[in-house]
Structure 1
Amino acid sequence: MLLIVGSVVVVLSVIGGFLLSHGNLLTLWQPYEILIIGGAAFGAFLTANPGKVVKAAGRGMRDLLRGERYARQDYVDLLSLMYDVLVKMRKEGMMSLEEHVDNPRQSALFNAYPRLAGDTPLIEFITDCLRLMVGGNMNPHELEHLLDVELETHEHEAQLPAHALAKLADSLPGFGIVAAVLGIVTTMASIGGDTAEIGRHVAGALVGTFLGILLSYGFVGPISAAIEHRAQEDGKAYACVKIALLSALRGYNPQVSIEFARKTLSSKARPSFQDLEAHLKGQR
């Protein structure tokens, strides 16, 4: 929602200010300038990035329109799921989790939380961690190092679309200058002709510079930053799982381990201690 509101504010501010200064709105309609800037920028974006990053950038912009990936209730479910896992591990031993880890789609433990069960990357991260604990006989320090490496890789991949769009935003003013230079070339070819026609060519050239800067700082740059913020926020769920499992491996009881995990969440999405406690008691 904020993405749409912010974009509308940018458009209204720029166009409104132009109209209030007695500008002619039709002067800004320069389809050939748009073609030069948009086409060249898109082509450069395809050249600079592998296919998976291009697709991820498209998904990232789509996801911004859908709102937050994990709401407060999702984190309550995640903490509850980790609590169930840790309780089962403590009461029945590590090997009791083997069937759930090998086939999470058929696991009653995971399917008790349908929304999380449909989040394949997160479930795979949880089961991979548990598989290491079940079959690896690892101490907390070894597991922590492995999880840190995996989370760094996950964060790097999640940030790639944002970095790619940021570079695209940096290039847009340059493509605006390209469009402006081509407009000046056309203008120079019209020297000696009708003065009004020369004025239109000069206006079109200047609009090219204007569009490149506006697209860069008003739209693509902010979208890049929004995708980066979202990726950082989504990574909190993985950090939450990591802390819960490491705390349990260090010998803390499930309730304390879940409290450590809860502390990793941002204040906006973090359920309160009382709410989580009441939720867990309700389940029991």
Structure 2
Amino acid sequence: MFGLIGIVVIFVMVFGGYLAAGGKLGIIMKSLPFEMMMIGGAAVGAFLISNDLRAIKHTTKDIGKVFKGPKWKPGDYRDLLCLLFELIRLARANPVAVEEHIETPQDSSIFSKYPKILTDKEAVNLICDTMRAASMNYDDPHQVEEVLEKRIEANLHHALHSSHALQTVADGLPALGIVAAVLGVIKTMGSIDQPPEILGKMIGGALVGTFLGVFLAYGLVAPFATKVKAVVEEDGHFYQLIREVLVANLYAHPTNMCIEVGRQNTPSHHRPSFSELEDALKATKQEAA
């Protein structure tokens, strides 16, 4: 929602201010299709050169995050804590019984209670792989903790590629705008024998290229890159929460303490209150009974 509002504000303030100052859109509108073809086309071409097909698809998909915002909402963090509570409690009561849930989570009666989490392969794999490692009786929990940390870092690095790709395009757009402007000047110099009113319009059209490159870079593409990065990092807290709870479990802390560690490490604007989580855990116990 705020993404759309921001775009509207940008266009209204920039072009509204231009018109209020007495500017005319005629020159801009006449030159815009050609300048956009040169600048936008070159930017897309450079993007295709610098990324493989998988990265291109990933970036195109991630642009939607500017408007959708973070994937994980406060209720999802509460559900995650309840899911981990059930799995840890079952693993400690009956280590054999938990195996069917972590080996085939798609058929698990526990995971099926939380369909949104179940659809996220990375979250499910992170939980199942770590629970499986815990069942192997590692002598040093630091081993699993280090593996988890590196895995989460690698996933975050990969997820941030879209932001880096968009920022690279933003960095190049002003220069591409200059290229388009220089071409416009070259065209103008070829018509130097024309009267001043015609040359003025041609020079104005050439300057549209510089304007468009800077406007697209700092008004649209760079903010998109920043927003994608912010959303990816925000969603990364969800996986960090899994790590915190399961590492606490590796150190054999009481189940409720493991969940409280996770609650305390949940971002404040997503963190369920103690009483809210306690009620959710009580409901979970009653369902399991």
- Alignment TM-score, normalising by the size of structure 1: 0.96
Corresponding residue for residue 26 of structure 1: 26
Corresponding residue for residue 67 of structure 2: 65
For this pair of structures, how many residues does the alignment match? 283
Equivalent runs, 1:253-264 vs 2, <5 Å: 253-264=254-265
Cα distance in structure 1, aligned partners of 2:68 and 2:278: 30
- Contact kept? 2:105, 2:111, Cα under 8 Å: yes
Unaligned runs of 5+ in 2: none
Cα distance in structure 1, aligned partners of 2:139 and 2:47: 44
Cα distance in structure 2, aligned partners of 1:107 and 1:243: 23
- Contact kept? 2:86, 2:284, Cα under 8 Å: no
Corresponding residue for residue 103 of structure 1: 104
Cα distance in structure 1, aligned partners of 2:265 and 2:61: 26
Letter in 1 for 2:21: S
Offset of residue 6 of structure 1: 1.0
**Aligned to 1:270, what secondary structure does the other structure show?**
coil
Offset of residue 68 of structure 1: 2.4
Q: Does 1:142 align with 2:178?
A: no
- Contact kept? 1:69, 1:234, Cα under 8 Å: yes
- Contact kept? 1:244, 1:257, Cα under 8 Å: yes
Runs of 4+ in structure 1 displaced over 3 angstroms?
135-138
Equivalent runs, 1:127-206 vs 2, <5 Å: 127-135=128-136, 137=138, 139-206=140-207
- Contact kept? 1:132, 1:138, Cα under 8 Å: no
Mean Cα displacement is larger for which, 16-25 or 66-75? 66-75
Cα distance in structure 2, aligned partners of 1:85 and 1:139: 21
Cα distance in structure 2, aligned partners of 1:241 and 1:47: 37
Cα distance in structure 2, aligned partners of 1:136 and 1:24: 74
Offset of residue 134 of structure 1: 2.4
Corresponding residue for residue 217 of structure 2: 216
Unaligned runs of 5+ in 1: none
Letter in 2 for 1:25: L
Letter in 2 for 1:20: A
Equivalent runs, 1:209-248 vs 2, <5 Å: 209-248=210-249
- Contact kept? 1:139, 1:249, Cα under 8 Å: no
Equivalent runs, 1:77-96 vs 2, <5 Å: 77-93=79-95, 95-96=96-97
Corresponding residue for residue 120 of structure 1: 121
Cα displacement string for residues 113-153 of structure 1 (whole angstroms, at most 9, x for unaligned residues)? 12211222211221122222224635311111100110110
Offset of residue 157 of structure 1: 0.3
**Aligned to 1:18, what secondary structure does the other structure show?**
helix
Offset of residue 28 of structure 1: 1.7
Letter in 2 for 1:63: K
Q: Does 1:16 align with 2:20?
A: no
Q: How has the CA–CA distance of structure 1 residues 120 and 76 changed in structure 2, closer, same or farther, with 3 Å as cutoff?
A: same
- Contact kept? 1:98, 1:134, Cα under 8 Å: no
Letter in 1 for 2:81: L
Identity %: 36
- Kindly report the root-mean-square deviation, in angstroms, between the aligned alpha carbons of the 2 structures: 1.3
